[in-house]
Structure 1
Amino acid sequence: MNHNLTHLPERPAKPRESGLTMVMDKGLSLRQAEDFLEVNADKVDLLKLGFGTSIATPNVKEKIKLYHDAGLMVYPGGTLFEAFFVRSQLDDYLRFVDDLGLETVEVSDGSMVIDEQVKCEMISRLAKNYRVLSEVGSKEAGILISPNKWTSMMEQELAAGSWKVIAEARESGNVGIYRPNGTAHTALVRRILAKVQLEDILWEAPKKPQQVWFLKQFGANVNLGNIGPHDVIPLECLRLGLRGDTFFDHLPAEMAEGVRQIPEDAEVEDD
């Protein structure tokens, strides 16, 4: 990065444990993947082939090789794992993953019910040969999980061998850790973090206001996922304080004093 701009937060070098950015590929072509990597490869850590797109997308092996050659960890979405699991085809799933040359997998139960003990057994089994991410939370808006259960599941799955646990939000960003209007369940997030380390969690945050909220709460190097391919650089600018939403977040107080813009309807104390 060729600049002399001061007061930017330090971003860990890849491979890293925190400050992760996970992008969802919902069916990019080879040409689109090449264009995406030309601009974003150094800023992305994980590339999820969303839901069942790794079956439906042509030239997927070639695309995965592009991503791997660029240093990205690639994995199929958890919905695909569930599609094989519900059909009792786990061995077929593993053959499919191996045929694609993937070293990372996701274990989830967002679309179906899987007993937590069984899920943890799957994680332990897969963790012997793959990097495992596991996802907690339902994709259905009406399914509510208590904070205690959220934290318990995350703790159990990390203990079973998950590298990171994913906090569910879908690409719509209105379920799981978010309310139907897209705002964060702040109490739930706080309860989770009382028991689970921040760097062990990948928070799905597909919408800009959600990204801003997590960055303001937990800093530039919070792990964020379900980022759209066109939103990687905008997110990196948010992390660095190079967008209006986070402009003052990394500046010293004396530099920000007197230059913040104040809305006209805000109350201003008399001198």
Structure 2
Amino acid sequence: MNAAELTLPERASKPRSRGLTLLIDNGVPLHHFQDVVESFDGFIDFVKFGWGTSVITKHLTDKIRCLEEHDIGWFFGGTLFEKYVYQGKLAEYRRYLRQHGGRYVEISNGTIDLSNAEKAQYIREFSSEFTVFSEVGFKDGEKSIHLSPARWIEYIQEDLAAGAFKVITEARESGTSGICRSNGEVRYGLIEEIADSGIDLDKVVFEAPNKTLQTYFIRLFGTNVNLGNVAFDDAVALETLRLGLRSDTLLQFS
């Protein structure tokens, strides 16, 4: 029983492999970053340095040190990986990761012309040294909406077979692509087909950058669903959703 003597859903404890919360740092100032991590580290499993922000972040080393002191994993955004691939500089990317002591890497093909089979080969190669988060789905909304559920399932399975630790389903930080329509509506049929495919959902991270998406996935899959692209200031708000301490999920858990 918790201190408030309420009956709450059982939450996986850290270090955990399910119920992960992945925050996105899109350029948070250093002291604010440190305050959030130090205050709410129990609710945060990973931080992604979004896109290529790590390249121009002034206090990147300080941020990484803060995360490691609080046992929070971190990785650079998949768009940065794609930039290195596009310029033919994968050896340089490996050096960049090693330089910062990276243990995790995100591998995606959301922007550049890279087939999923080619992406899977990169997953195999990087898995020998790093723990790989892969991502399925495109940044371009028009391109993504035409990716059929069967293809989504095929690509998720292919990435997992190649050695991905978790597969992230694209929604962008705006929640307007990938598993969402351009108006922000969830592609409900797609999510249902992924859920019914037999894929281990503990291996999937659903990007959910807003309360509407977070609530939807918690209601559908329960407290310990993996959620990503969570805004840096939303760690506590999301945890209350997970525990039924917010009106949106209060009646979900008795």
TM range (shorter): over 0.9
Which residue is equivalent to 1:213? 216
Q: For residue 114 of structure 1, report the CA deviation from its aligned partner.
A: 0.7
Pick aligned residue for 2:252 from 226, 249, 254? 249
Partner AA of 2:174 in structure 1? S
Query: In 2, Cα distance between the equivalents of 1:5 and 1:134?
Result: 40
Query: In 1, Cα distance between the equivalents of 2:122 and 2:237?
Result: 36
**TM-score, normalization: structure 2?**
0.96
Task: Determine if the alignment matches structure 1 residue 85 to structure 2 residue 88.
Answer: no
Which residue is equivalent to 1:159? 161
Partner AA of 1:219 in structure 2? G
Q: For residue 2 of structure 1, report the CA deviation from its aligned partner.
A: 5.8
Which residue is equivalent to 1:254? none
The one-character-per-residue Cα deviations of 1:145-181 (angstroms, maximum 9, x if unpaired) are 0111100000010010000000000000011001122
SS in 2 for 1:248: helix
Which residue is equivalent to 1:233? 236
Q: For residue 235 of structure 1, report the CA deviation from its aligned partner.
A: 0.5
Q: Extract unaligned runs of 5+ from structure 2.
A: none
Query: In 2, Cα distance between the equivalents of 1:39 and 1:213?
Result: 27
Partner AA of 1:203 in structure 2? F
Partner AA of 1:185 in structure 2? R
Partner AA of 1:76 in structure 2? F
**TM-score, normalization: structure 1?**
0.90
SS in 2 for 1:226: strand
Who wins on radius of gyration, i.e. which is larger? 1
Which residue is equivalent to 1:267? none
Query: In 1, Cα distance between the equivalents of 2:244 and 2:222?
Result: 10
Matches within 5 A, 1:41-56: 41-56=41-56
Which residue is equivalent to 1:191? 193
Query: In 2, Cα distance between the equivalents of 1:102 and 1:68?
Result: 11
> What is the RMSD computed on CA atoms of the aligned residues?
1.1
Q: For residue 30 of structure 1, report the CA deviation from its aligned partner.
A: 2.2
Q: For residue 229 of structure 1, report the CA deviation from its aligned partner.
A: 1.1
